[in-house]
Structure 1
Amino acid sequence: MDTFAADDAPLDYRQQMPKITIPIYAISAKGDNFISPTRGCQLFFEPFKNPANIFREYSLSHGDLDDYTHSRIMISRNAAHEIWPTVTAWIEQHAR
Structure 2
Amino acid sequence: MSERAELLRLADEKELLADRFDGYVRNLTTLFDQIKTGSVHGERAWTGPAAQRFDHDVVRRRSDMDRLAEQCRIAARNLKRSALHLREQARLFENSS
Larger RCO (CA within 8 A; separation ≥ 6): 2
Structure 1 or 2: more strand by fraction:
1
**Do both proteins adopt the same fold according to a TM-score greater than 0.5, normalized to the shorter chain?**
no
Work out which of the two has the higher radius of gyration on C-alpha atoms and give 1 or 2: 2
Structure 1 or 2: more helix by fraction:
2
Smaller-chain TM-score bracket: under 0.3
